[in-house]
Amino acid sequence: MEKYERIGRELVHKGAIIDYYQDTIKVPNGNIAKWDYIKHKGAAAVVAVKEDGRLLMVRQYRNALNRETLEIPAGGLNDVDEPTDLAAARELEEETGYTAGKLELLLSLRTTVAFCDEKIDVYVATDLKRSRQHLDEDEYLDVESRDVDELLQMIYDCKIQDGKTVSAILAYHNKYRKSENGIS
């Protein structure tokens, strides 16, 4: 692979969730290009599995899409050094009002590699116990319990489009459910 060289990085805007930079890159043929770069602290998400096998989902308004979405519980890290399992446990309880007796890493994903470094670690939460939901003051969401097969169909019908949710449900189904259902 040919060599790329970052020769500059300028902070354009510091935001609450992301920082936006403009990078100056020397490309392999020697030309200089300006590329956008989004710095993100990272996030954690949870496939929360109830005793009956249904998954806890959250329905919430997403400003970027100007509509509600159905997603797995998730949230940003408080800082870049926060362990993602602790963030996942925190977000599960905050958003759904449940705690997990067991958390297991399912996958790590990068959401938008062309211009953003966001990494989300997704955990499977089992042995759920009822606790208390405590949302942020600007956070409004509804908790729903859904069957995995119903969620898979919603993915295939393009009704669930959130990348972390699609990846997590497909990975969960592949790792934990296929053998249960006799699928090979």
Rounded CA separation 164/142 (Å): 18
Band (178; pLDDT cuts 50, 70, 90): low
The boundaries of the domain holding residue 83 are 41-177
Residue 4 has pLDDT above 70, yes or no: yes
Q: pTM for the full model?
A: 0.91
Mean pLDDT to the nearest integer, 8-28: 95
In a domain, 21, yes or no: yes
Band (2; pLDDT cuts 50, 70, 90): confident
Rounded CA separation 51/126 (Å): 8
Residue 76 has pLDDT above 70, yes or no: yes
110 and 136 belong to one structural domain: yes
Q: In the chain, what is the straight-line distance between the N-terminal and C-terminal CA atoms, in Å?
A: 38
102 and 163 belong to one structural domain: yes
80 and 146 belong to one structural domain: yes
In a domain, 184, yes or no: no
3-class secondary-structure state, position 175: helix
109 and 137 belong to one structural domain: yes
- The catalytically annotated residue of 82, 93, 94, 137 is 137
Q: Does residue 137 have an active-site annotation? A: yes
Q: What's the pLDDT at 182?
A: 47
In a domain, 73, yes or no: yes
What's the number of domains the chain is made of?
2
Q: What CATH number does the domain containing 134 carry?
A: 3.90.79.10
Residue 29 has pLDDT above 80, yes or no: yes
Residue 128 has pLDDT above 50, yes or no: yes
Give me 94's structure tokens: 């905050």
32 and 47 belong to one structural domain: no
